[in-house]
């Protein structure tokens, strides 16, 4: 590994890829002769910042959030204590690693405490807007430790975590104001308030949430997050598309899939027994897709070759998944109409359809 000047080391450690940082810890520190020698002479003691850790190396992420607890990979919790200066200033390397690990651990602990309700429910209206400057001030006061905007940005953009089979960038928990405003707009549209245009939405945002934005900004937010411009009071035309499914929900298994004719073009829907929170209301639908061979596509979900990791992981964790199909030659266009309809009815994409919005937050495993 290229030698890094000590005065630049901490900065470099924050921006290293996970793989490079692990290699640095293992090869340049833990496996080095100087480190082993000083551990043997008891000049260095190795401790951990928390007893909650995973010994197995995590893939593409620093830690896992599971059952309301944060589990770092053990190497990222190491803290080195040394009695005196070590030859060739090697103790400065340990100091820099301590700074990174303690900053990461404290920052993530504080951040996850701030977003606990969202993390535990997965319901986006529960996510809080966090001002970065206020967050830093609170951090410095809480831990009596240094943090600035540059360090915070490096950590947020270069740190990933795993939850429920998904890998997220840490910046996911620092949502932009426009995203928070989009949630407020969806909540307003789900109420009984009669909102006829963007100007009325803007007025309600100010009255209820004290958010002062223009009609034009409301329109831009709706377009970005695929929010309908007015509340759909009459839903008959929208539900018409869903009534075109050729059958009731059937359990997704090889036996039921075998009854579908070969090379059938169409659209399919996947659902579960678990109700999922969407901004406007609850629903059991998890995915809407299409294929020029429905039988072949649905078969992939009963094996390890599901065409997306998100669906594969969801099916793995849920015993009963159901499907419905619609026969149509214009399957791609019909899929688009169904997804647009779903957004109008429920305020968001089906849970596993990530190709349009919120994709910026989710990193494929």
More confident: 348 or 81: 81
- Domain edge (last residue) among 198, 224, 250: 224
Residues 282 and 200 in one domain: no
Q: Which domain holds residue 245?
A: 236-363
For residue 336, being part of any structural domain is answered with yes
Q: Give the pLDDT confidence score for residue 76 in this predicted structure.
A: 94
Whether residue 35 is predicted with pLDDT greater than 80 in this model: the reply is yes
Mean pLDDT of the chain: 83
**Residue 225: strand, helix, or coil:** coil
For residue 358, being part of any structural domain is answered with yes
Residues 116 and 11 in one domain: yes
For residue 64, being part of any structural domain is answered with yes
Whether residue 360 is predicted with pLDDT greater than 70 in this model: the reply is no
Residues 196 and 326 in one domain: no
- Residue 13 and residue 62 in contact, taking contact as beta carbons nearer than 8 Å: no
The 10s digit of each residue's pLDDT in 111-162 is: 999 999 988 887 777 889 999 999 999 999 999 999 999 999 999 999 999 8
Q: Give the distance from CA 47 to its chain's centroid.
A: 31
The 10s digit of each residue's pLDDT in 48-77 is: 999 998 888 777 789 999 888 999 999 999
Highest averaged pLDDT of the listed ranges 99-108, 294-303, 344-353: 99-108
For residue 219, being part of any structural domain is answered with yes
pTM of the model: 0.67
Q: Name every residue whose Cβ is closer than 8 Å to that of residue 62 and which is 6 or more positions away in sequence.
A: 18, 72, 73, 76, 104, 159, 160, 161
- Domain edge (last residue) among 142, 157, 172: 172
For residue 185, being part of any structural domain is answered with yes
Residues 212 and 312 in one domain: no
Residues 253 and 324 in one domain: yes
Whether residue 240 is predicted with pLDDT greater than 60 in this model: the reply is no
For residue 231, being part of any structural domain is answered with no
Whether residue 22 is predicted with pLDDT greater than 70 in this model: the reply is yes
Helices 149-158 & 6-15 angle (0-180, nearest 10) = 40
At 108, list the tokens: 């993530």
Classify strands 69-73 and 53-54 as parallel, antiparallel or unpaired. Answer: parallel
State how far the Cα of 267 lies from the Cα of 297, in Å rounded to an integer.
Answer: 11
Angle made by CA atoms 35, 37, 43, in degrees to the nearest 5? 80
Whether residue 302 is predicted with pLDDT greater than 70 in this model: the reply is yes
Tell me the pLDDT band of 206, cut-offs 50, 70 and 90.
Answer: very high
Residues 101 and 60 in one domain: yes
Residues 73 and 142 in one domain: yes
The 10s digit of each residue's pLDDT in 213-222 is: 999 999 999 8
Residues 270 and 297 in one domain: yes
Biggest CA-to-CA distance, the chain: 78
Phi-psi group of 226: left, alpha or beta (phi > 0 → left; psi -120 to 50 → alpha; rest → beta): left
For residue 1, being part of any structural domain is answered with no
Tell me the pLDDT band of 237, cut-offs 50, 70 and 90.
Answer: very low
State how far the Cα of 22 lies from the Cα of 259, in Å rounded to an integer.
Answer: 50
For residue 203, being part of any structural domain is answered with yes
More confident: 351 or 99: 99
Residues 134 and 242 in one domain: no
Residues 157 and 27 in one domain: yes
The 10s digit of each residue's pLDDT in 71-121 is: 999 999 999 999 878 888 899 899 999 999 999 999 999 999 999 998 888
Look at the chain and report how many structural domains it folds into: 3
Q: Give the pLDDT confidence score for residue 186 in this predicted structure.
A: 83
Whether residue 305 is predicted with pLDDT greater than 80 in this model: the reply is no
Residues 213 and 277 in one domain: no
The CATH number linked to 281 is 3.40.1440.10
Residues 14 and 161 in one domain: yes
């Amino acid at each position: 590994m290229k030698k890094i000047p000590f005065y630049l080391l901490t900065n470099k450690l924050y921006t290293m890829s996970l793989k490079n940082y692990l290699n640095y810890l293992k090869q340049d520190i833990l496996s080095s002769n100087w480190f082993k020698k000083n551990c043997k002479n008891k000049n260095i003691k190795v401790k951990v910042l928390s007893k909650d850790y995973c010994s197995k190396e995590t893939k593409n992420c620093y830690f896992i959030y599971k059952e309301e607890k944060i589990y770092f990979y053990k190497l990222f919790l190491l803290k080195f204590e040394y009695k005196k200066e070590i030859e060739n200033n090697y103790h400065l390397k340990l100091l820099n690693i301590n700074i990174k690990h303690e900053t990461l651990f404290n920052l993530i602990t504080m951040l996850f405490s701030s977003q606990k309700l969202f993390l535990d429910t997965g319901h986006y209206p529960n996510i809080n807007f966090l001002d970065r400057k206020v967050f830093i001030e609170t951090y410095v006061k809480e831990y009596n430790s240094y943090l600035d905007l540059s360090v915070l940005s490096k950590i947020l953009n270069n740190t990933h975590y795993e939850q429920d089979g998904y890998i997220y960038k840490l910046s996911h928990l620092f949502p932009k104001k426009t995203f928070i405003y989009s949630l407020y707009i969806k909540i307003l549209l789900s109420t009984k308030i009669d909102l006829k245009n963007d100007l009325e939405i803007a007025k309600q945002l100010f009255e209820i949430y004290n958010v002062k934005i223009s009609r034009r900004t409301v329109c831009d937010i709706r377009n970005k997050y695929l929010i309908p411009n007015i509340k759909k009071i009459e839903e008959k035309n929208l539900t018409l598309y869903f009534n075109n499914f050729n059958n009731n929900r059937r359990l997704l298994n090889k036996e039921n899939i075998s009854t579908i004719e070969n090379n059938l073009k169409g659209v399919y829907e996947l659902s579960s027994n678990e109700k999922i929170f969407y901004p406007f209301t609850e629903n059991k639908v998890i995915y809407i897709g299409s294929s020029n061979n429905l039988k072949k596509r649905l078969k992939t979900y009963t094996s390890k070759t599901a065409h997306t990791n998100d669906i594969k992981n969801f099916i793995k964790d849920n015993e009963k998944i159901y499907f419905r199909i619609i026969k149509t030659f214009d399957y791609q266009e019909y899929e688009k109409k169904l997804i647009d309809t779903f957004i109008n009815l429920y305020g968001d994409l089906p849970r596993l359809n990530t190709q349009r919005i919120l994709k910026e937050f989710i990193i494929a495993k």
